[in-house]
Structure 1
Amino acid sequence: MKKLLLLFCAASFFIANNANAQRSRSRAASSETENSAGLTVDFGDGSTLVGPALKHFFDRNNAGQVELLFGNGGSYLAAYYQYNAPIKNSGGLNYYLGIGPALGFGHGNTDFYIRPMAGLDYKVGDTPLDLSFDWRPAFYVGDNSDFTAARFGLGLRFSF
């Protein structure tokens, strides 16, 4: 568990450090932010997982997201690349497509997953509130590989 916490802290530091380096770059829309932090709920077929999430935009369309989720006696660390684009005439609604690895720790095992995602992200007006909903199936890679299609994510983040 200490290694997991250390890895999450290192990823958080990396994202925060890159935020300062990227801040000088202009964004396509001035109302958009480069970072957000909050809570993710991963639910669907199986257990419900809850935990902190950090998202950093490298430019207008490319972002990275890191999550540390807990539930059902396990901990899950995930890192995603996401391609983001606005939906025309929607007032702050974006779609995103992404993929990334996830590690599951618990029950005496370490499991490896590949997690694609497709979702919607909504920035609430001029407030710092950001909401997201996505479909995120899980491909388990290992002995007795498996696929779980019915997994979804709900995000509530503070943008800065």
Structure 2
Amino acid sequence: MKKVFLSLLAASFIAVGIQEAKAQTPYNTAIGLGVDLGDGETLVGPQIKHSFGGANAGNAQVLFGDNIITIGADYSYNQQFQGTNGLGWYVGVGPQISFVDYGPRDETFFAIRPAAGIEYKIPSAPLAFHFDWKPWWNLSHETDFEPSRFSLGFKFTLN
């Protein structure tokens, strides 16, 4: 099941990378490293962000931690701050699934992750950075809400 899901996710990345769009982000597609941190374990892994035109963008990531793999995809609404060159804000939401290995047993967690953050694209270089507040609303295994989660991203812009 995990291999099928990861294969579909990889195919989606390729399909998204082929499309071209004009965006409110100062680039169309970016790939890089995402870091999810805060109360609890820190997760790190690859991510991709792609603009679908206008203010609409999608972000997908696969994050790894100690005995955990998390796969997520987010929709975000993006706008640039007027009078700035490369600095913008965004809000979004998306589903996330985590596979946790507890030794003798494995569990799968489903979550919704709202996000609100800022992003900066260096005007003279193909680099972008983001910081957001990204709380974790777990919908499985005794539902809970963890507000103390944040994400950092370091991206190379492709176009």
Give yes or no for TM over 0.5: yes
Query: How far is the alpha carbon of 1:52 from its aligned partner?
Result: 0.2
Distance 2:15 2:127 in 1: 23
Deviations 1:44-93 (A, max 9, x none): 00000000000000113100000000002110000000000011122211
Q: 2:69 aligns with which of 75, 97, 107?
A: 75
Which secondary structure state, in structure 1, belongs to the residue aligned with residue 54 of structure 2? coil
Aligned to 1:140: 138
Aligned to 1:120: 118
Contact persistence 2:22–2:28 (CA under 8 A): no
Identical-pair percentage: 38
Q: 2:54 aligns with which of 54, 60, 68?
A: 60
Contact persistence 1:129–1:159 (CA under 8 A): yes
Going from structure 1 to structure 2, the CA distance change for 1:28 and 1:43 (only over 3 Å counts) comes to closer
Of 8-17 and 144-153, deviating more is: 8-17
Aligned to 2:10: 9
Distance 2:141 2:24 in 1: 45
- Deviating beyond 2 angstroms after TM superposition, the runs of 4 or more aligned structure 1 residues are 1-5, 25-29
Contact persistence 2:24–2:78 (CA under 8 A): no
Instruction: Map 1:11-160 to 2 at 5 A.
Output: 11-17=12-18, 19=19, 23=20, 25-27=21-23, 32-107=26-101, 108-160=106-158
Which secondary structure state, in structure 1, belongs to the residue aligned with residue 41 of structure 2? coil
Query: How far is the alpha carbon of 1:34 from its aligned partner?
Result: 0.5
Contact persistence 1:4–1:77 (CA under 8 A): no
Going from structure 1 to structure 2, the CA distance change for 1:93 and 1:8 (only over 3 Å counts) comes to same
Which secondary structure state, in structure 2, belongs to the residue aligned with residue 58 of structure 1? strand
Structure 1: runs of 5+ lacking an equivalent: none
- How many residues align? The count is 153
Contact persistence 1:50–1:69 (CA under 8 A): yes
Distance 2:31 2:42 in 1: 20
Opposite residue 35 of structure 2, the aligned amino acid is V
Structure 2: runs of 5+ lacking an equivalent: none
Query: How far is the alpha carbon of 1:27 from its aligned partner?
Result: 4.7
Going from structure 1 to structure 2, the CA distance change for 1:27 and 1:118 (only over 3 Å counts) comes to closer
Root mean square deviation of aligned Cα? 1.6
